[in-house]
Amino acid sequence: MDIQRINPTEKWSDVVVFNKMAHFVEVPEDDSTDMTGQVEQIFAQAEEMLASVNSDKSRILSVTIYITDFANMDALNQAWINWFPAGSAPSRACVKAELAKPSYLVEMAFVAATK
């Protein structure tokens, strides 16, 4: 068992797996959209990341959500509920924070189990 890194760059790897646990962080690739669009993009990106390490969205253990404005909480929750398969919701923290680009409305840090 050792460490697997997907697409390591100078600053980060897209996914890092050890001990059958995958770590990855997402911000929306297209940050011109509203909260719903940004959350949906993060989830689409997360599905790609999960697939790259033999996992899927039913195997997410925890998500830390950084949100820039709690006025967007309802949009977040609606997209969230639509995305997670029934019975597979993770542990979840959600706090307000400014993000690296002013256009980002949300950033999510995931820990997931591989298969």
**Interacting residue ranges for a copy of itself, rule: CB under 8 A:** 2-3, 5, 8-16, 18-21, 23-25, 59, 61-62, 64, 66, 70, 73, 77, 80-81, 84, 87-100, 107, 109, 111, 113
Between 37 and 113, whose beta carbon lies closer to a copy of itself?
Answer: 113
Q: With respect to a copy of itself, which residue has the nearer C-beta, 37 or 59?
A: 59
Structure tokens at 33: 């959209």
H/E stretch holding 26 reads: strand 21-26
At closest approach, how far in Å is the CB of 30 from a copy of itself? 19
Least gap, CB of 46 to a copy of itself (angstroms): 12
DSSP letter at 3 equals -
Residue 65 exposure: Cα atoms within 13 Å on the Cβ side: 21
- Nearer of residues 51 and 61 to a copy of itself, judged by Cβ: 61
Q: Which residues contact 105 (CB under 8 A, 6 or more apart)?
A: 28, 31, 34, 35, 38, 67, 68, 69, 72, 99
Q: Given the complex with a copy of itself, which of 16 and 31 has the nearer CB atom? A: 16
